[in-house]
Homo-oligomer: A and B are copies of this chain.
Amino acid sequence: MTDGVLTPEQILGAAEDVLRRYGPAKATVVDVARALGVSHGSVYRHFPSKAALREAVTERWLDQAHASLVAAVEAEGPAVPRLGTWFAVLFAAKRAKALKDPELFATYMVLVHESSGVIERHIQGLVGQIERILRDGIARGEVSVEDPPVTARAVFDAMNRFHDPAYAGEWARPGIEEAFDAVWALIERGITRRRR
Contacts and interface: CB of A to CB of B under 8 A. Distances in A.
* Chain multiplicity (copies): 2
Do most interface residues of chain A lie in helix, strand or loop, or is the interface mixed? helix
B194 A151 contact: no
A80 B132 CA distance: 30
Contacts of A166: 164, 166-167
A139 interface: no
Interface string A157-196: 1111100101100000000001100110111111100100
A155 interface: yes
| Chain A interface residue bracket vs B | 20 to 34
Contacts of A154: 179, 182-183, 185-186
Interface in A142-156: 147, 150-151, 153-155
A179 B157 contact: yes
Given A151-B186, A154-B182, A157-B179, 8 more contacts: A151-B182, A153-B179, A157-B161, A157-B182, A157-B183, A158-B159, A164-B166, A187-B190
